Structure 1
């Protein structure tokens, strides 16, 4: 396999999907690798949402030329372009090879799911080749772009056993579909639902003893969804039912929030049971002992921190493996690592995902501060001093922008709003700044060598993928990071000499508390901020007085006079002209198939993978209209985003 740069791209290019705004691949992303001999290094990782401003970026690219232009724009700061790549993988119309996928080695499993597996089991190849691992890729479902059979002819989810580099893969169940259903049903993000489940004390007394196996999306639709049935029962609860059907409404929350929380508690418990079943079957088939085995998790459900900690605490695995980009935002990583594993054959690949900071890099602070948009609002600048920064935390939240951005959906200390965890002021201020519910906690970043002193059964959690319970004598000391049940979603950090660890060290010396508040640097509905101008704009619009940017303390003034509002525009613009739109519609839909029919036909949940029509042929257009309208009238299905 030739040395050089390789690009793994989880994108989608299709003009009709662009025009219809069909969600085919969400959280689109690109990974740039450099191969030298047996060593492979991740050079840069781009999550398209950070550049487009569309949270969870799902918009398809209009054309190959538009996608190429985007890729070249991202590569340009590295003095590279798409023509410098030895190979490109993962996106039809962009890829330059077709031998990178899993359909030969794992023909009965989803390529999407196996790619998730490899993003985790190969994140440290020393463990992959020398240790034993059980891995599970648990998300909502595959995309069907490269592996067109994975939505209709295969199980959605994969697990594996790794014996010193030899992978045995098999179907598993995933609770991710339950959380995906709840997200669409309640129109709330999974993170909000997960937090609400434990926040309210309301509990519904009924239970779901057995859930049909969830190997694919087949039971997602219709009234066989047991949780939709349960919510109908919960929704009928009244105060008079307290003590009989449930324990009463928690007065801190609205009735609706209490009812959602009651259902999500049951979904969380069922999630535990599904994952326990996966683990126990894998351990039984492998003969592995947990204490000698690494647990590897990937897929969007891996963001469910309570489940991760539950499995680690119950089975006492040797260690935990998961990248920070565990959801679909990590698929370029997994697709790339699998491709290297496959194409390098018996050669032992050397790779390590050493940290989370492979995202965008900016070092143009001076230019930004001299810009006419920001210069009038700069009160002063000075070099980073951890003691001064610790004092700033006590005065209110600060903006923290440090080097390359983290990858994945969670702020890990390079694009953050930081605060003082003592008292509730920081939590209240951050929730106000980000327009979040009052009960939403902020996460702590904890010095690694103190995590066991403050948390029950605490251990290293560098990517904020585990929930720990604060010790009884500690919870009252840090109320801003404690959930209402005294748990916290923890990120640990080593004393590595970096600015963030020095700040927390200084805060610990000053207060005796070895942690600080951390929340992602973004407004509600906005992706994490990526550039310095976006960070300055955020601080000025939100009334934040101090921003630390790449080791420089920037004090701001005159916030009330700053004229702009709302999120700062992101650099990637994917709009096409009205003329291009009209020309595309004329060519793609010459027989005027109604828009509603086209949307139904292209929706991955309804017809997309079941029937194929050539819309340029009148006969096919007429057959599509007849078939789609029949299904729209008679088929029981759940439309994405339907109200409950």
Structure 2
């Protein structure tokens, strides 16, 4: 149990999966305590930077994605998300959100650091108000034509909200502002789109305005950085990370307006890229300008190679297994079928990029409807295209490589009618470009489909059900197919035909591995008694955990310290009602997220999928 609580057991199992013995590791970086006396707090390498280690890790994960680029041209990097965690924090920083400017070949101590504004909390507040995830709300903004004239509130938001301040303050401000924005839209009225419910129309109009404000915040960040450092975007790379970097329309709008030489974004732009950023920052500090790294691509996740062993668990449901061919896949796609496709290593990050995907024919509008039906999504949810990179310019305006589906492009007017399944109302689409080098097998399928139809792209959506994480293994994929009564699937380049789906009794996705995260209630109770013997309630514990200065100053195992801490926090909150509101919102959101996660692990049917 001690290994599981500390995380050592989980790390050992992950290392073993790639043939590394935990005993061979020289240093452990990241989560404090893992690795025992081999743990090194590398956040101390940048202790002189008055910005959170969480945000610095985001910066390194994008700015050092390809050190040849960092050596050859300036890089403007921004970490924009909902706010940092405080695990590695050493101080109460001036801002929660970081920016950095790297001159070509610059040493670590010469990087210019500064604070930036992050609009991500607006989307978080919208999620809390409307009960839909950020990506779903963004899709609704593009799907419906509803709009409202509330430009005055936009100006107020840009003037009054502390986008570059501390996350706790911004949380409260954004929650209040989104409520006012909603009321203003309802009062002003909006251009209706009768395909949608009244509630969806209001949400669409609100999200359009949030998107405009967010873009303006990002443009202000760039304008200020360009003025400060004399940046010429035409010879500079823009590097983005943090959850807001999943906002494809903003990424592309910034590239189009400023004309940056290239966009540096890893597929793991959200917090799944923290370990990458921590490692790159540590190596950069230790090796300086001699450090060389090129991100290998998204396909570095788990690989489920034993098809035979996986099929053995589904006796009576497998009709045929045979090697797949490009002709098979193309024929199945052209028949109108949704093609479950699992191949090789899983993708890193939150996007399905063709290794854990459901593919479909983009020339049929019905393909979008079928994919949304399978995944239990709203009818208006768009599906993304995957296209051969060499064909990108023929099908989309202002093309650029987009290997990780982090940009939006407009379908060319003379092509739109050929691919009705992938275009939003405004003809935009969230595009993944693919080269033969990145994935030769999928590239061959795109080529085969192009030869048969004249269209070198496919619909691509993540392989998962509503509320289910992206499918990782062959058994999870077979479970999905049998529950959905799909006749076949392509699993590691085998065409598997199913039978007797009506007899399959499972109605839920297969449970995921939770053992490394399971908690022994008795052990947790014992820890609480040891670490919080005076029984301080959640409010005080939350503030203590959030503020590094309090953690260093007050040892809660000392009853006198606990009493002083309680009085100190009471004084803080009495003097700053907004801080009090922010902390209570944080507790509410954190508790809700934990409850939701526990529910999804037990019965993964909720959520947006």
Q: Which TM-score band applies after superposition, normalised by the shorter structure?
A: 0.7 to 0.9
**Conserved? CA contact 1:360–1:404, under 8 Å:** yes
**Conserved? CA contact 1:134–1:161, under 8 Å:** yes
The answer on 1:214 being equivalent to 2:163 is yes
Mapped to 1, the partners of 2:241 and 2:175 lie a distance apart of 28
Aligned to 2:77: 135
The answer on 1:284 being equivalent to 2:227 is yes
SS at match of 2:220: helix
Aligned to 2:602: none
**Conserved? CA contact 1:219–1:225, under 8 Å:** no
Cα distance, 1:462 vs structure 2: 0.6
The answer on 1:442 being equivalent to 2:393 is no
RMSD: 2.6
Cα distance, 1:106 vs structure 2: 4.2
Mapped to 2, the partners of 1:605 and 1:412 lie a distance apart of 40
The answer on 1:575 being equivalent to 2:554 is no
Equivalent residues in 2 for 1:589-628, closer than 5 Å: 589-593=532-536, 597-598=537-538, 600-603=539-542, 611=550, 614-619=555-560
Mapped to 2, the partners of 1:495 and 1:79 lie a distance apart of 28
Equivalent of 2:49 in 98, 101, 107: 107
SS at match of 1:127: helix
**Conserved? CA contact 1:389–1:503, under 8 Å:** yes
Cα distance, 1:358 vs structure 2: 0.9
Equivalent of 1:392 in 308, 332, 353: 332
Equivalent of 2:259 in 291, 313, 316: 316
Mean Cα displacement is larger for which, 210-219 or 195-204? Answer: 210-219
Equivalent of 2:451 in 509, 520, 542: 509
Mapped to 1, the partners of 2:82 and 2:100 lie a distance apart of 18
Mapped to 1, the partners of 2:446 and 2:150 lie a distance apart of 45
Mapped to 2, the partners of 1:482 and 1:204 lie a distance apart of 23
The answer on 1:269 being equivalent to 2:224 is no
The answer on 1:527 being equivalent to 2:474 is no
SS at match of 1:112: helix
Cα distance, 1:246 vs structure 2: 2.9
Cα distance, 1:608 vs structure 2: 5.4
Equivalent of 1:171 in 115, 122, 130: 115
Mapped to 1, the partners of 2:549 and 2:102 lie a distance apart of 34
TM-score, scaled to structure 2: 0.87
Give deviations 1:165-206, integer Å, cap 9, x for gaps.
222221111112222222233332111121112222111212
**Conserved? CA contact 2:333–2:339, under 8 Å:** yes
Cα distance, 1:517 vs structure 2: 0.7
Cα distance, 1:378 vs structure 2: 0.9
Equivalent of 2:180 in 229, 232, 237: 229
Aligned to 1:636: 581
Equivalent of 1:354 in 296, 301, 306: 296
- Call closer, same or farther: CA 1:343–1:254 in 2, change over 3 Å: same
**Conserved? CA contact 1:463–1:491, under 8 Å:** yes
Give deviations 1:225-277, integer Å, cap 9, x for gaps.
4333222223x44xxxxxxx233332111222211221111111111111111
The answer on 1:89 being equivalent to 2:41 is no
- Call closer, same or farther: CA 1:313–1:63 in 2, change over 3 Å: same
Give deviations 1:510-550, integer Å, cap 9, x for gaps.
11111111111112222211111111111111222221111
Cα distance, 1:580 vs structure 2: 2.9
**Conserved? CA contact 2:143–2:380, under 8 Å:** yes
SS at match of 2:530: helix
SS at match of 1:569: coil
Mapped to 2, the partners of 1:102 and 1:307 lie a distance apart of 33
Cα distance, 1:584 vs structure 2: 3.5
Equivalent pairs, count? 566
SS at match of 1:358: strand
SS at match of 1:78: coil
Aligned to 1:305: 248
**Conserved? CA contact 1:115–1:331, under 8 Å:** yes
Aligned to 2:605: none
**Conserved? CA contact 1:132–1:293, under 8 Å:** yes
**Conserved? CA contact 1:118–1:334, under 8 Å:** yes
SS at match of 2:585: coil
The answer on 1:154 being equivalent to 2:100 is no
For structure 2, the residue ranges without an aligned partner over 5 or more in a row are 593-609
Equivalent of 2:270 in 320, 324, 327: 327
**Conserved? CA contact 2:266–2:404, under 8 Å:** yes
SS at match of 1:375: coil
Mapped to 1, the partners of 2:385 and 2:544 lie a distance apart of 38
**Conserved? CA contact 2:190–2:205, under 8 Å:** no
- Call closer, same or farther: CA 1:66–1:160 in 2, change over 3 Å: closer
**Conserved? CA contact 2:476–2:510, under 8 Å:** yes
Cα distance, 1:403 vs structure 2: 0.5
Cα distance, 1:626 vs structure 2: 6.9
Cα distance, 1:424 vs structure 2: 2.1
Give deviations 1:321-340, integer Å, cap 9, x for gaps.
11000111101101100100
**Conserved? CA contact 1:411–1:519, under 8 Å:** yes
SS at match of 1:220: helix
Cα distance, 1:105 vs structure 2: 5.9
Cα distance, 1:585 vs structure 2: 4.1
For structure 1, the residue ranges without an aligned partner over 5 or more in a row are 1-60, 238-244
Equivalent of 1:537 in 454, 467, 479: 479
